[in-house]
Structures are given as structure tokens and as C-alpha cells.
Amino acid sequence: MSFANPWGLLALVALPAIAAIHLFHRHYPRLDVSGLHLWGVAQKTHSPGRRRERLPITASLILELLAALILALALARPQVDSVNRSVHLVVVLDGSASMSARRLTSGGDVKTFGELAVAELQDRVDGLPSGSVVTLVESGLRPALLYGPRGDEEFVIESLQGWRPESVGHDVQPAWNLADQLAGETGQLLYLTDTLPDTGQFNVPGRMEIVAVGEPQPNLAITAARWMIDRSQQRDQNEYNGTVHLRLLNLGAQATTATVVATSPDGKEIRTVLDRQVELAPGMVLPFEAVVPIGLGQLDIRLVSDSDAMDLDSHVRLIRPVDRLVRVAVTLPDASVARQQVGRALLALPGWTPSGVEDADLVIGGVVSDDSATDPERWRLRIGPMDDSPAARKQAVDLSDRSVYVLEKRHPLLEGVVLGGVVWGGVQTLDFDFTPLITAGTKPLLVQKLGTRSTEFVLNIDLARSNFTDTPDWPILLSNLLEQCRDSRPGLRRVNYRVTEAVRFQLESEVAEGTDLLRLEGGERPRKVARARVVEIVGLARPAFYTVHDQDRQLARFAVNFQDIDESTLVSLSAGKRPPVIQAQVGGFETDSPYTWLILLAILVVIGLALGDWQVLRR
């Protein structure tokens, strides 16, 4: 027996105080007489002093002493010694996707390594002293608290019924550090995983015990998936044949036969659109292609085999790619060299379609304004000469192939551009504000014009006096321009992503001006997304189909797939135990008293005794 609040025993000083009060403050018994007239002449007599008398044992004294004793014990909060032996067990569960793999080589019941880890946890919890508490932490790109902190041991296993380890490869150190902080100085640390780490490989907390439940397993994986549209096989203006490209990998030690099965929703039913067997040698990487029937909006593809221990990496979801053609209008003079060179480069580039100026996303023209910024979202590329007069052209400067060009490499428009051996001719003076992207000394060659409502670039060059169009930099520059213009249009840039990839897309101007948050549905549960001109969604760790909604309106739909070859490699899994280097201090921990109901009962008893004492004194 011990006391959670020993200072409460100071209340026991009330016992002698009560006894002293009853000893020196006497209540004489009531005496009934026939009349008071006989007492009228009584004289007051003084005794020489009080004699020592015995403490009278009365009902009032007993009730008050009991009330004081019970109240003092309630304040001291008595508890049995078994509570002090309670422990705080902090468990780190490996959230890697490999924990979801099945143990195919064990025989008997096939369980995942995650289920084996939970069974190990159950044994540990069953052996904890009464009153112990448990905290569960899951490792991942961001450590997550699964249970607790300091939750009741009775409900630990129940909290893991929906646990699905699906994380890509990650650093487990943040989860260990979090568990070490939660454990304090007396808590016990346990790490449950499927691979026993090498000694010295990680900075493992000294008090942490490691238990690995893994075992080498065969596995098949789809390490890459892409759905491409073949516009050469056109049935009408909106329908094209599609081709699915997969990369299949056998990560086992034995050859195996697998089946590629692809399904797609067809009304209320699921339609099988592909069912093909493939042979995979050990360690073999097999490129796989299949034609997709016209009219499908999404595909669910699985690689099925008895030698596949993990389903997560052999299942991909694909959405039909969205056509995002950039509408391009070329307004350069028909007979100009610039028109010919732009046309020749565009013919070799994909992802665009010719258009009129009014409907164009990108206008490529001369320096003289031909569309006067009627649409602020329209992009423009102006190509020199800046002044077409004979005098100005005569004063223009030509730069030799030995010139030093300074490029703003951080700008996406110049990705891959090097300007090696370029003769840049026809450089003239610019009379407007700009941000330089390519310069040679003090001469601006490619700039972004300032003070305009739209995105406008100016190429300060005379292509008739330059070899720029004969170098690989010319089509690279136009390709980057098309890509940046496409990314600025409303809608998703892509529709198929890998887990942990950031999803970014533009909203239409009227939608971006709202104030309410957007809603993302898919994965485990819906979540809110900030509304902005450019929406960015990060941290998607669950493979699924996702949709973004603005109230009842669907703004975007995309798929996220798991593809991580390191997590798919299961041949290095192992089992074993590693005891902690430093034993945790055995001293229990502070917790709320399990005897609160006894304290309440003691207070009620004290109140009852006080009422009883009052009734005794009334007599």
C-alpha cells in the first residue's frame, strides 16, 4: 500500500484537535426540574480549579473522529503497489508497403507480415502488468500516431483492425525519435518490422527492442504504367485507339507465369478488356504493350500469379489521358524567314493544333502588335527584328559564335538550351521594361516583357542573319514554350501519378475567385484543399482514384499508383530479435488514480457522519 498524495496525511492532525475540543468543551446533560423558583437564591460558587477528567466517549466524538480519519485518507489517495509496476509501452510499427506482403513460404495459414507484427504485439500486451498503457506510432514519410498516447491496453489490438501499411521507402528515424519522446524516461520502446537492420546502420534509441517478423518472398511488380493515345488511328474527331505500356518485373528467384488482367466499368458491371499470360524469368524486366478498346474512361490492371507475395505493387489504376492541345496562331509575314523556320519546327513538335488569333492559346508573331492584348491569358512570342526599317537593320549588331551567352537557367523556358556555337544576328535596342532571360554582355537577346496583362516573350533576333534555327536549341525553345503554355491552361497537367508525387493544376478564373475550400475525395477519407489559381495537392500516399470537387461540381479526376522497386524487393526480408542496449528504468509512471470512485465514496461517508453528528447534538 502506498499513497499518491502523502501530504494529505497531514489532515490527521485534526484527530487530536477534535479530542481536545471534546475534552475541554463540555456539554452538561439536560436536567428536568419541577420549577425554577427554588433556584432563585442560588449563589455562584467558584471552584479552586478544574480537575483532570477522563475523555468522555460519546457518539458525537466517535462520528467526528471517523469523519476526519476518512477525509485524511481520501486526500492521501491510497493505492496498491501493483499500480506502481505498470509500464508505458511505446511501439513503432513499420508502415512500409513490404509489411503488407504475404508469407507464401511458411505453409499453413497465409498471413501478411503486418498481421504477424500485430500478433507479436498481442503477446506483448497480454504480458503487461495491470494498469499499463500503450502508445502506437506508425513509421512513414510522416510518422503517424495510431493509438494513444497512453491508451488503455485493452483496446490496442482493436485499434489496428483497419491498419494497412502502404508507405513507400522512407527514413524510420523520425518515428523512432517521436516514440523516444513519448516514452519519457521510464517507458519501454519496441520496433516491429520485417527486416532486422544491420548493427550500426541506424541511430537506434538505446532503450528500443527490435523484433523482425520477415522472411524472403517471391514477388512480381508493375514498375511503370502509361496509357497513350494513338491519334493516327482516328475513327472520328474525338475517338482514338489507345495503347497501355507496362514494365513488368519478376523479383523472385524462380521463373513464373503470370496473367495481365485489365478491367473497366461498363455501367453497373465490370468489363474485362484484357487477359493475357506472360512468362517471366528470375530478375526479368518485361516491356508489355496492349491496345485498349475505344471508349474506355479508366482501366484497372492487375498482374496475377501464385508467386506474387504483395498485391499493392502489382495493381495499377489508369485514367484515359486528357487531350491538352495548345492552340497556336502564327501571324508572321508569309514570305519571312521567321515564318518558315517557326513552321518547320512546329511540324516536328507534338501537342499543338493550328488556330486563329481569337481562339489561340499562343500567338507567335512579329514585334508589331497584331492582337493588342485582348485576352490576358493568351501567351505571345514576338520575334524580331524590333525595327524593320533599313536604317535600324543596318545598325543592328551580330554576335559571333564565340560570344558568351548568359542564360537564366532557373526559368523553365530555357530548360535544355545551351546556345553552343550560335551566331545571334540582328540585335537591336529595346525601348520597354523587361526581365532578361538570355543576354550577351549588356545586350538583351530573349526577354519577358513587363507591364502587359498577358505573358509575353520577345526574341531580339533577326533569323535571316542567324544560325539559331539550325541548332537543337531552336526546337527545344519552342517545345518548352508550348509546354509552359499548356501548363498555364485550366485543368490537370497529367491524370496518372505515383504516390507522393505533387498534383498541380490550374483553375478557371471564376472558380479560383471563390472563398470555400475544395473537397478531395478518394483514398481513406475526404479532405479539404485550399482554393487558388494554381491548386497543389501533396502527400497522397494511398493508391486510388481521386476527384476534386467544388461543392457539387467535379473539377478534376486523377489516379495515384504505388511504384517503388525498393519496397517491392522482398528477398532481403528477415526475422530476428535485438534486445535494447539500455534497460528502461523500472519505476512505473504517474497516472490517474484507479480508485477515484473510492474517494467519492469516502466523501459521501464523511457527509453521512457529519449529518449523524448533527442529529446526536440535537438530542
Q: Where does the pLDDT of residue 600 fall: very low under 50, low under 70, confident under 90, or very high at 90 and above?
A: low
Is residue 103 a contact partner of residue 113, using CB atoms and an 8 Å limit?
A: yes
Q: What's 297's DSSP letter? A: -
Q: Which CATH class is domain 326-487?
A: alpha beta
Which tens digits make up the pLDDT trace of 480-517? 999 999 988 888 988 999 998 999 998 988 888 888 99
DSSP string covering 457-470: EEE---GGG--GGG
Question: Is CATH 2.60.40.10 the right assignment for the domain spanning 220-321?
Answer: yes
Which of 290, 304, 352, 363 has the alpha carbon at shortest distance from 330?
A: 363
Protein fold of 84-217+570-578 = Rossmann fold (3.40.50)
pLDDT value at residue 601: 72
DSSP string covering 156-223: TTGGGTT----B-S---HHHHHHHHHHHTTT-EEEEEESSPPPTTTS---TTEEEEEE------EEEE
Say which residue, 479 or 588, is predicted with more confidence: 479
Give the number of C-alpha atoms closer than 13 A to the C-alpha of residue 119, restricted to the C-beta side.
8
pLDDT value at residue 44: 55
Say which residue, 63 or 417, is predicted with more confidence: 417
What is the enclosing helix (H) or strand (E) of 66? helix 59-76
pLDDT value at residue 483: 93
* Mean pLDDT taken over the chain: 86
Is residue 454 a contact partner of residue 380, using CB atoms and an 8 Å limit?
A: yes
pLDDT value at residue 117: 95
Burial profile 35-66: b = 16 or more Cβ within 10 angstroms, e = fewer? eeeeeeeeeeeeeeeeeeeeeeeeebbebbbb
Same-fold call for 84-217+570-578 versus 326-487? yes
Q: Where does the pLDDT of residue 475 fall: very low under 50, low under 70, confident under 90, or very high at 90 and above?
A: very high
Say which residue, 595 or 535, is predicted with more confidence: 535
Range 325-354 average pLDDT:
93
- Type of residue at 189: L
Reading the block at residue 59, the C-alpha cell is 457518539
Range 541-561 average pLDDT:
93
pLDDT value at residue 541: 87
pLDDT value at residue 83: 44
Range 458-471 average pLDDT:
94
Task: Report whether pLDDT(597) > 80.
Answer: no
Range 278-289 average pLDDT:
94
Which tens digits make up the pLDDT trace of 71-111? 777 777 776 554 457 889 999 999 999 999 999 876 656 89
Global model pTM greater than 0.95: no
Task: Report whether pLDDT(583) > 50.
Answer: yes
In order of 271, 290, 315, 526, the CA distances from 275 in angstroms are 11, 10, 14, 33
Highest-confidence range of 185-189, 401-405, 476-480, by mean pLDDT?
A: 476-480
Range 166-187 average pLDDT:
92
Rg over alpha carbons for the chain, rounded to the nearest Å, is 41
Q: Which CATH class is domain 491-561?
A: mainly beta
Which tens digits make up the pLDDT trace of 101-132? 999 876 656 899 999 999 999 999 999 988 89
The ranges assigned to domains in the chain are: 2-29+53-77+594-618, 84-217+570-578, 220-321, 326-487, 491-561
pLDDT value at residue 474: 96
For 174-188, 518-532, 550-564, 602-616, which range has the lowest pLDDT when averaged over its residues?
602-616
